[in-house]
Structure 1
């Protein structure tokens, strides 16, 4: 039977679900947020009351047994992505899975295999793909606005007092058993996925990572090199131990006739050629994930193609492991 409405349950109603994603499930067409789950029952109930969600649980298995729900948003830290994704797919639910897809490439492969086994629909929450600024970047690249693409360069330089991530009660993002690594594992999946979205499949990758500052034990600097199937070259540096005065998070795409410069915040793009310099400005959605959630709903309803497949998420997971010098199985 074809679904006419996507009825959601959220597993993990923490800081990300408060503004960036949660309200979008209620505001999108053909969508209803029916239940939320958090292991802390008091916090689960509080979220449900504040966001006018009719049902809450403190046990994910109970939410997955709820026959009123046909789709699940997994918004827990990465350490439980594999477990909940497998359980949700086995329960016959569609899955919208937060990034990074899993703790490792090995775990991501298990999720891809489960999606194929249970025939469920799964989308990775690389939401920047659906933001107006990055759709415009892709259009400019595809139209030849800067000629043939030669090189893409990413620089993400931040201090230890990182301001680019959502607040949380505990800084689990620098606990590798929960996050998979440090801040690189939280931010870089978006950056690498955008390159995959702009330029297609990646042929080869090399990387090195290091812990330079004893403030925490995870690697705080990561270098990576990429070669795409189409011959475009890429490089990236992610550093989380520099002075605040050095802070930047930018991407430059160099072409045979000019370049594009933009930050990953999605507010503006600079187009620079021999003939002109032009700036495009964009207003970000109130709930930053809403465009991606709407595209996911359309996919789950059979109206559109998958906005970010598990296989694409798997490729990002592989590059992440290569860049951070993890073992690849």
Structure 2
């Protein structure tokens, strides 16, 4: 393939700005079709974004001859089924995070890509952004020396109305807000440090405001004996909000927000604030790399096996697997 002609399954909010427009902005890429079960919303999206075709049935889009790659942006409960349908139709797939409801589904998706000889990449898109590529370079260059430990704290107060969203329905999302946000954070740890070798953790529903757990903690050992400790609290007191990851090394530290923009490099007593340009479409760098991978001009920016590792960590933290 010399050009990727995309179809989006699930053209909801995440595709309005974060991802959708980027498919027409990177080289050798065009968004040609979109699908949503609500036909009126699918048509509206197509008209507003200048997309030639729209569908209310996923099968019709998957089998459309003008589409050679699928971006699956539905809730996780539908990722496996649509991915397998796409592979059976000979289409390449870029699927939203989390990869699936659990690691078993994710593993089946990875195996299906091998079986059907189709390409599969996962939308852990932060690893393609300049900020996190810079952090990886600093780590590889040993700017802060040997890595000693990593601490991650994510504290967010309860937002009224959360109980009415699919993100806290485990049957649709796989869990709660931990399943929605932690994949980005845990994937960055895989991106920075490699395979998780040992995972311990737990989760619980402390506030009982909805069915899903709202608190999780984990201790993970990555390659090279790098120790990670993380805490996620989605019912934190107002005023205690925190989005912070600190990588401590023998010569200094790197501290950054995963969902914000702050990023500081500290060597000795000197701290440098690292600044990066605002990205109007946060998935654009990743989509650019995925397109290059699909047309055989680059490597897979997020291979399925690395996303399976993320899902496996989450399953162990939340008690889905021992």
Q: What TM-score do the two structures reach when normalised by structure 1?
A: 0.95
RMSD: 1.5
Task: Please state how far the C-alpha of 1:120 moved relative to its aligned partner.
Answer: 0.3
What is the CA deviation profile of residues 223-256 of structure 1, one whole-angstrom value per residue up to 9, with x for unaligned ones?
A: 0010012111001000001112000111000001
Alignment map for 1:179-328 (pairs within 5 Å) = 179-265=173-259, 267-327=261-321
Match of 1:43 among 23, 41, 44: 41
17, 23, 26: which one aligns with 1:25: 23
Give yes or no for contact 2:163–2:209 (8 Å, CA) kept in 1.
Answer: no
Partner deviation per Cα, 1:261-281 (whole Å, 9 max, x = no partner): 000135232111215211111
CA distance in 2, matches of 1:238, 1:295: 30
Pairwise CA distance, 1:113 = 0.8
Q: How far off its partner does 1:147 sit?
A: 0.6
Which one of the candidate residues 89, 96, 99 is aligned to 2:97? 99
Length-normalised TM-score, structure 2: 0.98
> Distance between the aligned counterparts of 1:124 and 1:117, measured in 2?
18
Gapped regions of structure 1 (runs ≥ 5): none
**Once the 2 structures are TM-superposed, how far is the Cα of residue 29 of structure 1 from its aligned partner?**
1.1
Counterpart residue number, 1:69? 67
CA distance in 2, matches of 1:150, 1:169: 39
Q: Does 1:9 align with 2:7?
A: yes
How far apart are 1:161 and its partner, in Å? 1.3
C-alpha contact (below 8 Å) 2:243/2:260 kept by paired residues: no
> What is residue 84 of structure 1 aligned with on the other side?
82
Residue in structure 2 matching 1:151, options 149, 152, 158: 149
TM-aligned CA deviation for residue 170 of structure 1: 5.2
Deviates more, 1:26-35 or 1:261-270: 261-270
SS of 1:244's partner is coil
**Is residue 28–residue 294 contact of structure 1 (8 Å, CA) maintained in 2?**
yes
Residues in 2 aligned to 1:229 and 1:320: alpha-carbon distance in whole angstroms: 18
Paired with 2:116 and 2:93, the residues of 1 have a C-alpha distance of: 12
| Alpha-carbon distance in 1 for matches of 2:162, 2:133 | 30
* Structure 1 range deviating more: 35-44 or 261-270: 261-270
Native 8 Å contact 1:133 1:266 kept in 2: no
Kept in 2: contact 1:267–1:283 (CA 8 A):
no
| CA distance 1:140–1:266, shift in 2 (3 Å) | farther
Distance 1:244-1:153 versus aligned 2 partners, 3 A rule: same
Q: Counterparts of 1:7 and 1:268 in 2: how far apart (Å)?
A: 36
1:102-121 deviations in Å (ceiling 9; x for gaps) = 00011111101100000001
Task: Look up the SS of the partner of 2:34 in the other structure.
Answer: strand
Aligned pairs, how many? 322
Q: For residues 131 and 255 of structure 2, what CA distance do their matches in structure 1 show?
A: 11
Distance 1:278 1:150, change over 3 A: same
For 1:4 and 1:147, locate their aligned partners in 2 and report how far apart those are by CA, in whole Å.
43
Determine whether 1:176 maps to 2:174: no
